[in-house]
């Protein structure tokens, strides 16, 4: 089994965003993000160790599509 280094962990973490970070980036409220993700009108989060996170690329695509 390969060990993941601290640098690799930080790199992976930077590619995943919390709901608060997504809210700050998009200007959309936390409750609205959750509601719209449930409705399918916002990118769905992924589960990582019991936490919900958004892929940076999904949020970048969302922002680009609204420009």
Q: What is the pLDDT, as a whole number, of residue 6?
A: 62
3-state DSSP assignment of residue 30: helix
Residue-wise pLDDT for 9-52, tens only, equals 555 556 899 999 999 999 999 999 999 999 999 999 999 899 99
User: Higher confidence at residue 5 or residue 23?
Assistant: 23
Q: What is the pLDDT, as a whole number, of residue 67?
A: 75
Q: Which residue, 16, 11, 20, is CA-closest to 49?
A: 16
Residues 6 or more apart from 23 whose CB is under 8 A from it?
29, 30, 33
At 3, give phi and psi (nearest 5°): -85, 140
**How long, in residues, is the chain?**
67
The domains located in the chain, with CATH, are 16-66 (1.10.238)
Q: What is the pLDDT, as a whole number, of residue 56?
A: 93
Report how far residue 62's alpha carbon sits from residue 65's, in angstroms, rounded to the nearest whole number: 5
């Amino acid at each position: 089994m390969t060990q993941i280094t601290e640098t690799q962990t930080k790199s992976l973490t930077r590619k995943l965003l919390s709901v608060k970070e997504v809210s700050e980036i998009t200007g959309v409220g936390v409750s609205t993000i959750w509601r719209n993700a449930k409705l399918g009108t916002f990118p769905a989060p992924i589960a990582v160790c019991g936490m919900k996170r958004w892929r940076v690329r999904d949020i970048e695509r969302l922002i680009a599509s609204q420009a």
